[in-house]
């Protein structure tokens, strides 16, 4: 890459740049065939959208004198809770066995973002296993091992509770 970047203009430089591009493409092609396949291959299309940081407009933790700013902050917090419930339920159902193995056996093949994302999903899924599992701060023992219909029922119950909080909060703010 350094040779391609510092290559002179003209045919000689073009040849070095083309060789660099070909090498990068071959490397990425091979990466898809690594043992156990690429980490998170089965969820890669959804990860970027789901884990991308969402803009938050207010980060203040105390109420202000402006009702509309307080309303915006509270609605963002409620939306964040809803998003976390849905993201957690999605992560609970992922088959991360290959990702766990790959992260353990081949961490040197992952860049920082891949390692961080893999570990984030594994941690999220692990928090939903066992008797201490919680969803939106409420006990939900062994959520990740429950049948999908039971998980769906729990998720809807949590989302309804958040919606109720929103309705109550909005009712107080109209006074």
For 32-44, write each residue's pLDDT tens digit: 555 555 556 556 6
Q: Number of folded domains in the chain?
A: 2
Residue 33's pLDDT is 55
Query: 69 with 154, same domain?
Result: yes
Most confident region among 82-91, 98-107, 165-174 by mean pLDDT: 82-91
Residue 42's pLDDT is 58
Q: What is the largest CA-CA distance in the chain?
A: 75
Mean pLDDT (whole number) for 35-59: 58
Residue 85's pLDDT is 93
Query: 27 with 55, same domain?
Result: no
**Closest by alpha carbon to 57, among 65, 46, 45, 68?**
68
Query: 73 with 124, same domain?
Result: yes
Rg of the Cα trace of the chain? 23
Could you tell me if 80 and 165 are in contact, meaning their C-beta atoms sit under 8 angstroms apart? no
Q: Is 60 exceeded by the pLDDT of residue 108?
A: yes
Average pLDDT, the chain: 78
Structural domain boundaries enclosing 7:
1-31
Query: 65 with 113, same domain?
Result: yes
């Amino acid at each position: 890459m350094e040779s391609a970047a510092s290559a002179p203009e003209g045919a000689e430089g073009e040849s070095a740049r083309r060789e660099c591009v070909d090498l990068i493409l071959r490397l990425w092609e091979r990466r898809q065939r690594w043992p156990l396949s690429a980490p998170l291959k089965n969820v890669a299309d959804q990860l970027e959208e789901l884990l991308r940081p969402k803009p938050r407009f207010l980060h203040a933790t105390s109420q202000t004198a402006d009702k509309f700013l307080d309303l915006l902050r509270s609605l963002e917090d409620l939306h964040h809770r809803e998003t976390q419930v849905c993201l957690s339920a999605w992560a609970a159902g992922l088959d991360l066995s290959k990702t766990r193995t790959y992260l353990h056996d081949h961490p040197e093949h992952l860049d920082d973002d891949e390692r961080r994302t893999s570990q984030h999903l594994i941690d999220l899924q692990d928090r939903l296993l066992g008797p201490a599992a919680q969803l939106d701060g409420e006990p939900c023992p062994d959520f990740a091992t429950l049948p999908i219909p039971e998980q769906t029922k729990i998720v809807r119950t949590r989302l309804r509770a958040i919606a109720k909080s929103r309705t109550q909060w909005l009712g107080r703010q109209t006074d």
